[in-house]
Amino acid sequence: MNITVYQNIHIHKLTVESVANSSVLQIGTAGMVKTLSNLYNTGGFTEPAPELDTPLGLGTAEPIVPLASVTA
């Protein structure tokens, strides 16, 4: 048995504050998801960022991402 569902969505106003990397904004059902990736230079940078003095995670006593401590 095949069932076909047609759907119409009318959005009068949609405000999105932020869509970060790897985020998905979905409206309605997802019969098929098409990927789209855009990269914008919103800061107006004209040259690459300077190199780091030490590689990330080396030479630091604390983790870069603060995690909750686990106590047993």
Q: What is the pLDDT of residues 11-67, one digit of tens each?
A: 888 888 877 776 777 776 666 767 778 888 888 889 988 887 766 655 556 666 666
> What is the secondary structure of 15-64 as a DSSP string?
--S---TT-----S--SS---------TT---SPPPPPSS-TTSS-SS-S
* Band (1; pLDDT cuts 50, 70, 90): confident
